[in-house]
Structure 1
Amino acid sequence: PARLHLSDLDAAMIGAFLEHLETERGNAVSTRNARLAAVHSLFGYAAVHAPEHAEVISRVLAIPPKRCDRAIVSYLTATEIDALLAAPNRATWHGRRDHALLVLTCQSGLRVSELIGLDCQDAHPGAGGGHVRCHGKGRKNRATPLTSRTAKVLRVWLAERDGHPRDPLFPTRAGGRLSRDAIARLVAKHATAAATACPSITAKNVTPHTLRHSAAMALLHAGIDTSVIALWMGHESPESTQAYLHADMTIKQRALARVTPPDTKPGRYRAPDALLAFLDTL
């Protein structure tokens, strides 16, 4: 790859690469579009720094994404979240760590990468709530407020954690940072345990991102404007929050309740006798 020149990466080669992803590697259209977005980002940078290749660059940037089906956002209800938070065994160190991590994730909606990057100094659980600071997607720092319940859990965990300011907030037993896979496994483990008390969880694929969706849906159900939710979740654009509107049946049900239903009766249409008599005369 180091020997490749920008002129070698023409539209034909990029198109062949995208075709390879779908036909030979079996990737979904969404994956193909994600790779194309990365290519477009690279060539957008090249358009500024290598204008002598403007013709090749413009043709690559003209490659369109494919349309694909979008799955409805999966999230946990308040009852399911309560069951999940009750699942860790808080008699053990791992259980208390997992409980604090799940409480923070379900309330704040932090991404996995943001959870992994949290240091002890990033948590500020004040008496009235407090906040956490994280280094988010796109190299953006943001602060997310905490409820009094979440702040209390974090205060207890920080006291037990007793780490230095730059130590990871949720460490492994050896003191290192949790990996993305480790967080996914602990979420899946506790979701399986929670399904005993709340069987509806069984029908859902509970991942760390599901908890992020759950936090956004909780805000939406509370009547928070989507522009505020976008800021809370660290979305680049409020348009990203529209997916939660599509998933929220309560908003659609409230809209339906305001619509006057058509004045029709169920069942087959039965013509009156006068109409039948008239038709017989034809």
Structure 2
Amino acid sequence: MEFDKLPTLSYERKMHRASLKLFLYFEYNPDIKKIIKETFYAKYSKTHRAWYILEASEIVKTLQTKLKGVAIVSEVITKRGVLKKSSVTKGKIKNISAENRLVLKQFREYLQGKRYSESTVMTYLMLVAGLVEYHNKMDLTRLDLPKVQEYVEKVFAPYKYSINTHRQFISAMKQFHEFYGTQIDTTQLFMPKKTRYLPTVLSKEEVLDILTVTANLKHRTILALLYSCGLRISEVLNLHIRDIDIDRRQLVVRGGKGRKDRYVILAETMVPLLSNYKMTYQPNGYLIYGRNFSQYSPESIRAFLRKSCKKAKIKKRVTPHTLRHSYATHLLESGIDLRYIQELLGHAKPETTMIYTHVAKKDLLSIKSPLDIALKELATKMRGGGFLSNQ
């Protein structure tokens, strides 16, 4: 197939279900659909009328590699996340002037220079780009508080952006003001109160059920590491052979969230499992590797975890991070001091770890419900005849 006759797959980054996703737009093509579903475990959003995959490092480059000779992969940023089919076929892009595109490009470089993670850089860039497009015809140095408020009222509220996305937008605007020198009084920018969600937690029995039904050795090792060490998915993917110290039963997490290293205890039961895994797969470099010893895909982990939960007949919405939440909660229920749990999880603030006190059941189960107390007192009266003698 000639290059100029290949179909086009356009992508854009935007927040969806509390995390950054890569939305994919293309005219129906069975080959493209098969690749994005089997390789990237893409899901279809009826709301956005598009396929989407989880945003990750080098994901676009991987997408281009997998679709080479099948489709042309190009970026398309659309107004307020709405894209019509005609826009894709005509190759239209976001309605931003060349001058403002240069500003956004420089803003991205500015954020990268401040050493923000690529995920944070792209989130801030996309949020600011929405505002820039909305006020595209005006000089950006004239942006002020009323203009920002107008955008929030006309876009964020009607399209029901989450509170956390709204907070990210305010943080992004502060960075943009610092970079470009607008007329925005950043001290007056309203920051909504952060939404606090209680984490989903599995019981110990449910965790064991998931591990039991996971037959694949590599998959079982990954899930066991996530739970037994309380690791984030990125921390598991970045583990190298050198990070495992079997003799000392320790695992070192390098460059975790906030670019912090930390040591984590390696469970005794992980030692034979890891030995079996290393003997079978003989990793060289990354402990958990994908094709050609490259870094393993986070989408793959999420996919086989869903399958394991289905086999284990678990109805809760379980993600790899659920295993980390379960690890912390089970430690707390076992009587481990909150300060140690904070250290093991790599939390910068104790307030972050405190959320697990709301889901730990050890102390909660010691509290008697008024209904239980009332029924117990009633039963005592009836056995002693006191209740009946008053009738």
Q: Same fold (TM over 0.5)?
A: yes
Q: CA deviation at 1:223?
A: 1.2
Distance 1:174 1:75 in 2: 35
User: Counting strand residues as a fraction of each chain, which structure ranks higher?
Assistant: 2
Alignment of structure 1 residues 57-206 onto 2, 5 Å: 59-67=185-193, 69-89=195-215, 95-126=216-247, 129-164=249-284, 167-195=285-313, 201-202=314-315, 204-206=316-318
Distance 1:124 1:216 in 2: 22
What is the aligned-residue identity percentage? 26
Look up the equivalent residue of 1:188 and give its one-letter code.
Answer: R
User: Counting helix residues as a fraction of each chain, which structure ranks higher?
Assistant: 1
Q: What do the CA deviations read for 1:15-44 (whole angstroms, capped 9, x no partner)?
A: 34544553354322222223334444x269
Which residue of the partner structure matches residue 269 of structure 1? Answer: none
Q: What do the CA deviations read for 1:117-150 (whole angstroms, capped 9, x no partner)?
A: 1122222222x62323332011111121111112
Structure scoring higher RCO (CA < 8 A, sep ≥ 6) equals 1
The farther-off stretch of 29-38 and 178-187 is 29-38
Q: CA deviation at 1:183?
A: 1.7
Distance 2:298 2:142 in 1: 35
Identify unmatched segments of 5+ residues in structure 2. 1-100, 105-138, 379-391
Equivalent of 1:31 in 165, 185, 188: 165
Equivalent of 1:216 in 328, 341, 355: 328
* 8 Å Cα contact 1:144/1:232 also seen in 2: yes
Cα 1:237–1:21 change in 2 (3 A) is farther
Look up the equivalent residue of 2:161 and give its one-letter code.
Answer: N
Structure 2 residue matching 1:131: 3-state secondary structure = strand
Look up the equivalent residue of 1:23 and give its one-letter code.
Answer: A
TM-score where L is the length of structure 2: 0.54
TM-score where L is the length of structure 1: 0.73
Identify unmatched segments of 5+ residues in structure 1. 90-94, 196-200, 267-282
Structure 2 residue matching 1:136: 3-state secondary structure = coil
Q: How many matched pairs?
A: 240
* 8 Å Cα contact 2:331/2:341 also seen in 1: yes
Distance 1:228 1:6 in 2: 48
